[in-house]
Structure 1
Amino acid sequence: MKKTILLVIITLLGICSIFGQNVDRSSFKAGFNAGIPVGDASEIASFSIGVDVNYHWGISKTFDVGLASGFINSFSEEEFEDFQFLPVAGSVRIYPTYEFKLGADVGYAVGINEGNEGGFYYRPIIGYNITGNTELNVSYTAIENNGTFGLVMAGILFLF
């Protein structure tokens, strides 16, 4: 029993020290992106634009977690309607330096237009802070459901 209590105390102290090192980097970000379809998507769509909205909490000096959402519209070839998605995802960012970040969003993209079922959503991303509150990024966005709807995108985010 004493060992269990000691283990619980050590665990709680460890957790407190981890969260005691968090950085006040909590932030709301919103921005725009544009890109080209690749793979299966390139056969049915020609260009994509989107809006990104996310909120991150600084867990440590080099690590953030958060929530990500937005809107993606892929302009289809003439015989199809545009493809529209609303992604809802968890988000992770790693900061090797202040200016440079790596991360990923993982979740589900809800298909908005008729006949679009949506699917599993993932988006690896690389970002660069050009100012204290402006980020440029490149990403690969994929929505999987009986095939992959893939996009290579570039975007800009503004910190609020």
Structure 2
Amino acid sequence: MKKKTFVLVVIALVSVGFSAMGQRVDRTNFKAGIHGGVPFGDISDHSNFELGLDVGYHIALSELIDTGLTTGFMNAFINNDSVDAGPVTVEGDFPNIQYVPVAAVFRLYPTYDFKLGADVGYAVGINDGNTGGGYLRPIIGVNVSGNTELNISYVKVSDDYDFSMAALGILFLF
């Protein structure tokens, strides 16, 4: 039941993003970049580094607010060949943990060079046994030039385990 409710909320947010896209077309931004993260929570027992790709399309609703859609790819590198599951240690070749997020984007610009926001949606699990889950990514960004943004974020995927990380990224405006 919780998963159905979450999916409905994500669909509603994406719909709001699409309807907002039709409001103003005088300022649109395609953004692409990379990020690296340090996992914590349950995933930190098995991974100490994550690397990802970010792609998004933003539309200005006003001078202070953007909305849009984002996707990308996240890969948490597994750093060992055994997993300690309580009293049992499982040996084997474990795949990296991979997600493709699909999310609505909201950004607030207190100044031209500084932004606060969040990506809210669903992270599709693409490696074997990865069911995916709700995706939340609060973000703080700073413009370092007219077409380059440096950002820090917290990523949370509500999956069967705790996939959380702190990330540092760079985005380029096209």
CA deviation digits over 1:53-81, x for unaligned, max 9?
Answer: 00011001100000010000100122231
Report the residue type matching 2:30 in the other structure.
Answer: F
Q: Which has the larger radius of gyration?
A: 1
Provide TM-score, normalisation by structure 2.
0.77
- Which residue is 2:31 aligned to? 29
- Checking the alignment, whether the CA contact within 8 Å between 1:23 and 1:60 is kept in structure 2 is no
How far is 1:44 from its partner? 1.7
Provide TM-score, normalisation by structure 1.
0.84
Equivalent positions of 1:3-152 (< 5 A) are: 24-79=26-81, 80-152=94-166
Q: Which moved more, 1:107-116 or 1:38-47?
A: 38-47
- Checking the alignment, whether the CA contact within 8 Å between 1:23 and 1:61 is kept in structure 2 is no
Give unmatched runs, 5+ long, in structure 1: 1-18
In 2, the alpha carbon distance for the partners of 1:77 and 1:130 equals 33
In 1, the alpha carbon distance for the partners of 2:161 and 2:130 equals 13
How far is 1:41 from its partner? 1.4
Number of equivalences: 140
In 2, the alpha carbon distance for the partners of 1:23 and 1:127 equals 23
Q: CA RMSD in A?
A: 1.2
Q: Which moved more, 1:37-46 or 1:131-140?
A: 37-46
Work out the percentage of aligned pairs sharing the same amino acid. Answer: 54
- Checking the alignment, whether the CA contact within 8 Å between 1:30 and 1:52 is kept in structure 2 is yes
In 1, the alpha carbon distance for the partners of 2:46 and 2:121 equals 23
